[in-house]
Structure 1
Amino acid sequence: MTQALDPPEDAAAPASAAARPPGPDSLVAARRALWHAVRDRDESRAARSVFDLLDAGADAEDVLLGVIARVQFTVGEEWAAGRLSVAAEHAATAIHDRIIAAMSHREAEARPADATPAAAVTVACVDGEWHSLPARILAEVLRLRGHRVDFLGAQVPTPHLVAHLHHTAPAAVALSSSIPTRLPAAHAAITAVQAVGIPVLAGGAAFGPDGRYARLLGADAWAPDARGAADALARGVPRPAAGAVRQTIDDLPHLADQEFTMVSRSRGQLVKNTMAALEDRLPAMRAYTEAQRERTAEDVAHIVEFLAAALYTDDSGLLTRFLDWTGDILEARGVPARVLGPALEILQDELKDFPRALRFLAEGHAALDGRGTRPTIPGTGSEA
């Protein structure tokens, strides 16, 4: 796995990145200093590690992408490995968000008052997507490139997004999503935005590392990261014909079998039935604490949600990759991944009349059986 922090954690963190001239070594030192600061929830020290680098003449885009985004990736990995709590992960993300806001104000003050903006771009997260930091970083990169940007933040309902576009008529919409379970909402947003004649550039982990789901859902362009998105907009994204309404099934004819719809609508009942059957199959569950029961129910609900997303895209890999990732999370916390097996078997019984769902669940079970035991999730905070 690519390491987000190059130096080892136990190396001495410099008090300031400004002592070195801007360059690769300075970015490395700033990453290390920022990681130590956000891990310790020290916002003042975190801000100094960034602004000392900027004061030394570092490019703001390089700082956003080569320092803040890289450290945020480390924060996520450390949470997944069980070395950072949910609260600590949220605190680190909030620190990064406030530093980015301060950077934005600094850059705005330095910009000539008579500067002519490039094309207007709206940046938004799809409905239900609460990971807004990647989109926030993209918005700031676009501002640095001279664009006039409306950043709408997390969880933007599609009707509100479209209403905003009617008032602002941007050159493009950059749509962000990190969670694959939001792909149906992303599809609705893509088609609705295109129906008013505005192109959609999709980005974020939900669309796949190669953009396969962006293409599947009919997005006009895809980019793997903020810099790629800015470059794509600079090249120009052709506008779709206004008023061209495309139905979901036009893009995804496999939805005609109604399996996605039925699984989505019965999600609550599927979770309830699975939890009841798990208690019968695993008597030890009856001694679970309320917190343990809630965590188990959440895991089952996530399996159902990812199964629905896999059915929507007709890609079983969405489910198997999620199960593999969940297995890593569980084993990092001392729980064997095989505990997911009984839930998959019960869901197979519940969905015995759904051929695609049965096949996807069977493939997921086989992936769990074949993964072996992994001691921990590779981390970055304590490795060279």
Structure 2
Amino acid sequence: MSPGTPPRLPDDERLRDLAGRLWDAVAAGDEYTATGTVLRALDDGLDPEHVLLDVIATVQGRVGEQWAANRISVAQEHAATSINERAVAALALHPAARTTPHRGRITVACVDGEWHALPARLVAEVLKLRGWRVDYLGAQVPAPHLISHLHTTKADAVALSSSIATRLPAAHAAITACQAIGVPVLVGGAAFGPDGRYARLLGAQAWATDARTAADRLAAGPLPCPQPDPRQGDDLPHLADQEYTMVVRGKDALVRTVFLALADAFPAMRGYDDTQRERTAEDLAHIVEFLATALYLDDDGLFTGFIAWTAHILRARGVPPQSLPPALALLARELKDFPRAVRILRRGTETLTTDHPTPGTPA
């Protein structure tokens, strides 16, 4: 070591330092510094998988936290995510990340309607580093296109990603379609719950909390081969009451009716400007989407968790969440002939009227 050369930090400290420098570049919107920071770390011998998961993924998690706390705007969040995606792409092209495939073939995709592609991209790049041949299909992959791809490639397994719980019905369709042609499915992402409960409910062969866990599971041995299900489509028997279907079909009319009635139930809304009214309509649409998903899964907790998270987000933005209980009451009135929907909405109201810890992002 030459005089004046700083001592080499242990890897964990180097990773923390690197994450801090990458965050500074991402927060400043400086993609050149961000990608340069990542590439120099690889030049210096840092392991590419650690850079992906302990640096880039860590910074992306902080981006989400900053948005939830109302410290950055949606536009800033999108810009930061784009820079992190470019950092991943730069890493993938570095000589240190080039690995000759010596395992099988995996298809990695986001479920239909899921635009949060970075988690799936991280899985794809880690699997490549581990020696798999990977077909990364990106965001928003309709099930028919996924199946067509699998017929062509004969993949050993599919890794499906979803971050937002309202995409779970589409995830279920994709899981079922893959299994019907004999391809096992590993799923991951916040949509499937912190304990993977929805992965099990929807019949996936495996669930992983993150990219590293997914790669470890696939390295441990082949996923179980899908077996014919004697239930023949009755895996969610509660759907026989048609509540999910009716709420989905009537979503637009339901949102419109409740929006128009909310001004009487919540007089403060009469003073809203156009932007506030537009956001209120968007919030109502999200509430109905999560209600529908809770009906699909027959899981009240999914809806109550979302309502608690929504209240937290509103408070972070200086918006009192007092409009939520009357909105839920109006929805319950419109859906009075749907007993499961009414039960779920009442549980949501109870959540708002009791103390609860600050929740994370919705599953």
- TM class by shorter chain equals over 0.9
1:98-177 map, 5 Å: 98-107=86-95, 110-111=98-99, 115-177=100-162
2:302 corresponding residue in structure 1: 318
1:95 equivalent among 76, 80, 83 = 83
Q: What's the counterpart of residue 256 of structure 1?
A: 240
Measured at CA, do residues 68 and 109 of structure 1 come closer, stay the same or move farther in structure 2, by a change above 3 Å? Answer: closer
Instruction: Give the aligned partner of residue 212 of structure 1.
Output: 197
1:26 and 1:53 in contact (8 A); partners too: no
| CA offset digits 1:121-167 (Å, max 9, x no partner) | 00000000000000000000000001010000000001110011110
Return the match for 2:24 from 36, 48, 51. Answer: 36
- Trace 1:1-384 onto structure 2 (pairs within 5 A): 20-21=8-9, 23-107=11-95, 110-111=98-99, 115-235=100-220, 236-241=222-227, 244=228, 249-371=233-355
Cα pair 2:92 2:98 within 8 Å, conserved: no
Contact 1:194 / 1:200 at 8 angstroms: preserved in 2? Answer: yes
Secondary structure class of the residue paired with 1:152:
strand
- Name the CA distance, whole Å, in 1 between partners of 2:262 and 2:52: 46
Q: CA deviation at 1:57?
A: 1.0
SS of the residue corresponding to residue 346 of structure 1 reads helix
1:314 to 1:37, Cα distance in 2 relative to 1, 3 A: same
Where in structure 2 are there 5+ consecutive unaligned residues? 1-5
Deviations 1:167-223 (A, max 9, x none): 011000000000000000000000000001000001000001111000000001111
Q: Which SS does the other structure have where 1:124 is aligned?
A: strand
Give the total of aligned pairs: 354
**Residue range with higher mean Cα deviation, 121-130 or 283-292:** 283-292
- Aligned partners of 1:47, 1:22: CA distance in 2, in Å? 22
Q: Distance in 2 between matches of 1:55 and 1:248?
A: 54
Residue 314 to residue 110, structure 1, CA distance change in 2 (3 Å): closer
Contact 1:338 1:368 in 2 (8 A): no
1:22–1:53 CA contact under 8 A, matched in 2: no
* Distance (whole Å) between structure 2 residues aligned to residue 22 and residue 159 of structure 1: 48
Higher relative contact order (CA 8 A, sep 6+): 1
Q: 133-142 or 249-258, which moves further after superposition?
A: 249-258
| Residue 3 (structure 1) aligns with | none
Give secondary structure in 2 for the equivalent of 1:370: coil
Q: Structure 1 residues 147 and 286, CA, compared in 2 at 3 Å: closer, same or farther?
A: same
Q: Report the RMSD for the aligned CA atoms in angstroms.
A: 1.9
When normalised by structure 2's length, the TM-score is 0.93
Contact 1:122–1:172 under 8 Å retained in 2? yes
SS in 1 for 2:135: strand
Percent sequence identity over aligned pairs: 60
Normalised TM-score (structure 1): 0.88
In structure 1, distance between residues paired with 2:251 and 2:102: 47
Which runs of no fewer than 5 residues in structure 1 stay unpaired? 1-17, 379-384
With over 3 angstroms needed to count, the CA separation of the structure-2 counterparts of 1:46 and 1:165, relative to structure 1, is: same
Q: 53-62 or 304-313: which moved more?
A: 53-62
Question: C-alpha displacement at 1:105, in angstroms?
Answer: 1.2
Separation (CA, whole Å) in 2 of partners of 1:163 and 1:110: 28
